[in-house]
Structure 1
């Protein structure tokens, strides 16, 4: 067997782990090399903003498979090394260290990087990002000292860390330019519910507010300069979204636009190279082109990429799914809706237990269960159907009867 008959995966996250796992589970006979630029084996990232920060889970609990598993399954792990370039002509990945790894199929699972805040002081000690386990370790260490946390951004990461910090006893202020947390994802009504949840738990929200700089004191971050005045803080988290890590793909001449462009089988413009997870802007056979930064998608796309390499005819056809836990709110969301979709509520928001539907042109585009469990599969089956809003809202009608 020639080395170039094998598969090389670049990336150390959940999608990469599931490419490897699926290939071996289905009897893939060729060599597999996984290259990650972190020193740990591929791991799950959702606990970094929740259970790990809250001290409920150790860092190594999120590792998908330990090094022994990879050895047992004849997988070469190359950790703590950066891929420098892809030579598509010779089917070789070159690392910064100078080593070369031939491939028959290459999978890009390079993920995304935290978006930087371009203001004075953004690089000061005490300013944190949260994308990797090292980021979470540093942020958790800062929580142990207590004090005040300022979060820039009111998306999923910002709100999850705000909740974790409050539960650790910190004072927390969230600053964001929008009028509603998560408004671009969940719309105004449900976004307002998340705002009320955080305020009820002692988080100060300064919405409609721009950050112009990081306050410096004694060589460290001491808060935010904003359009609504200063926000004093001992720790600052920048959580303003993520940027797909497309540098390798661009340098290799692959088609890139808000991620690496792939078809419904996850193949790039080079049929011997696939892309999965946060970095993949993929053609969904039901919804069109999507780039999804969530746990479920990483697992499913990792599996699909392996199926493509194995010669199967599977396609990217599932609905996006994600979840969050903040304070006493746990929820699951399935589907894909724009912020201007019509929102229909089954139950009462103030009870803390309800189901939300989003309709576009009379069709259910997405649904979310909040503190109501074992219904998400039923909600998934409703997405794509035309259902009268009054029936969706009527809790006397069983979900299964809709």
Structure 2
């Protein structure tokens, strides 16, 4: 059995950041990362954004290297089967046993899949660097790729592909692309931008079944129609990987439940990133899947595991960049809420406030300076009643 001062289950961005956080307080403690994926940590957002659209952002820049440390060991292709809290050990699928002083659950999430259409050479549930590599091989030369899902990953992949010599059909459940998240005026602009860029939009539809036939994929939609393409990419969201935590008797409520120190009820076990259900100081208890949370909660939990007395008091932002639209946001973006819009003229930059019972629940900033995010957090933290008069101009746009 190998024993480590710090053991991290999961080999993604949280793990890499946690190592950096630990090393700020403990230079020599032994760290082991057990990652299920065949590759080490990468800056995952680049797989659907910058690698496709920024010629100066090269493939070598995606890699994070927490293993570049004499006291840190990265194990890839290593899936953890169980945790023994009494013995403070974990057992891998291959039967290896690792002991720990402190254990971090950074297991992230697994893509939502269709039961009858497994992942394969032409069917991608986009998540990993291997998915990116394969999609690069499939794209270009005006091949036809269907993207399924109208949320962040789906819209980003569709935008990436159409800007790289690929015919793209985007299938999504909303009538207007972005309609569940954006107010009607902005959703309409978002929708039209995709049409103008050459993406074929099939709104109000979903994929029922599919099959691979030779070098093509045949998809059957819920309206009875079919689509044929060279490949299909699904972006249907993820399910948090909580099974090993549940089996170990840890509390799970949509994610692994932790306190303000990202600590479970077991004082030796922590959770951070996508898998953690944590108490946000502004938004209340929630689980967040975005990169800012992976970075900040990873660093913070590393500090805490190595002896820091701090708490996780960061309210994460999330962002997306497609074509000429770059938005950043904090809180809840739900178009069924009341919205107040504050735009520069022409409407290239602006702020959208989302309200329930006259209290701000979310703030979206379009094409604005990232430094304005702290102002958005301040608005979100203000629980007093708001109106168009109190919000317009509160965050300076220009």
| TM-score, scaled relative to structure 2 | 0.90
- Select the residue among 177, 185, 188 that pairs with 1:192: 188
After superposition, give the CA deviation of every residue in 1:39-92 in whole Å (9 maximum; x if it has no partner). 43322110111122447333331122264x233xx2122223222221111101
Q: Is the 8 A contact 2:177 2:191 kept in 1?
A: yes
Larger deviation, residues 299-308 vs 58-67: 58-67
Indicate the residue corresponding to 1:36 in structure 2.
35
Q: For the residues of structure 1 that align with 2:65 and 2:177, how far apart are their CA atoms?
A: 35
Indicate the residue corresponding to 1:257 in structure 2.
253
Q: Does 1:352 align with 2:351?
A: no
* Other structure's SS at 2:160 match: helix
Number of residues of Structure 1 aligned to a counterpart in Structure 2: 393
State the 1:187 CA deviation: 5.2
- Select the residue among 361, 376, 381 that pairs with 2:378: 381
Change (3 A) 1:350 1:167: farther
* Other structure's SS at 1:236 match: strand
Q: Does 1:294 align with 2:290?
A: yes
Larger deviation, residues 93-102 vs 107-116: 93-102
Q: Does 1:115 align with 2:112?
A: yes
- Select the residue among 126, 131, 136 that pairs with 2:132: 136
Q: Does 1:106 align with 2:103?
A: yes
State the 1:378 CA deviation: 2.6
Q: Does 1:62 align with 2:58?
A: no
State the 1:353 CA deviation: 2.4
Change (3 A) 1:357 1:89: same
Change (3 A) 1:294 1:37: same
Indicate the residue corresponding to 1:12 in structure 2.
11
Indicate the residue corresponding to 1:80 in structure 2.
77
State the 1:277 CA deviation: 0.5
Change (3 A) 1:55 1:218: farther
Change (3 A) 1:85 1:363: same
Q: For the residues of structure 2 that align with 1:88 and 1:59, how far apart are their CA atoms?
A: 40
Larger deviation, residues 17-26 vs 2-11: 2-11
Stretches of structure 2 that go unaligned for 5 or more consecutive residues are none
Q: For the residues of structure 2 that align with 1:360 and 1:398, how far apart are their CA atoms?
A: 18
Q: Residues 247-286 of structure 1: matches in 2 within 5 Å?
A: 247-286=243-282
State the 1:264 CA deviation: 1.8
Indicate the residue corresponding to 2:23 in structure 1.
24
Change (3 A) 1:205 1:400: closer
Q: For the residues of structure 2 that align with 1:138 and 1:205, how far apart are their CA atoms?
A: 24
- Select the residue among 84, 94, 98 that pairs with 1:97: 94
Q: Is the 8 A contact 1:28 1:310 kept in 2?
A: no
After superposition, give the CA deviation of every residue in 1:165-217 in whole Å (9 maximum; x if it has no partner). 11012121111223343444445554333222212212122111132222543
Q: Is the 8 A contact 1:143 1:165 kept in 2?
A: yes
* Other structure's SS at 1:323 match: strand
Q: Is the 8 A contact 1:150 1:223 kept in 2?
A: no
Q: For the residues of structure 2 that align with 1:347 and 1:184, how far apart are their CA atoms?
A: 20
Q: For the residues of structure 2 that align with 1:399 and 1:121, how far apart are their CA atoms?
A: 47
Indicate the residue corresponding to 2:203 in structure 1.
207
Q: Is the 8 A contact 1:209 1:228 kept in 2?
A: no
State the 1:294 CA deviation: 0.5
Change (3 A) 1:314 1:66: closer
Larger deviation, residues 310-319 vs 5-14: 310-319
Larger deviation, residues 276-285 vs 357-366: 357-366
State the 1:278 CA deviation: 0.7
State the 1:5 CA deviation: 6.8
Stretches of structure 1 that go unaligned for 5 or more consecutive residues are none
Q: For the residues of structure 2 that align with 1:186 and 1:312, how far apart are their CA atoms?
A: 40
Change (3 A) 1:114 1:369: same
Q: For the residues of structure 2 that align with 1:398 and 1:225, how far apart are their CA atoms?
A: 45
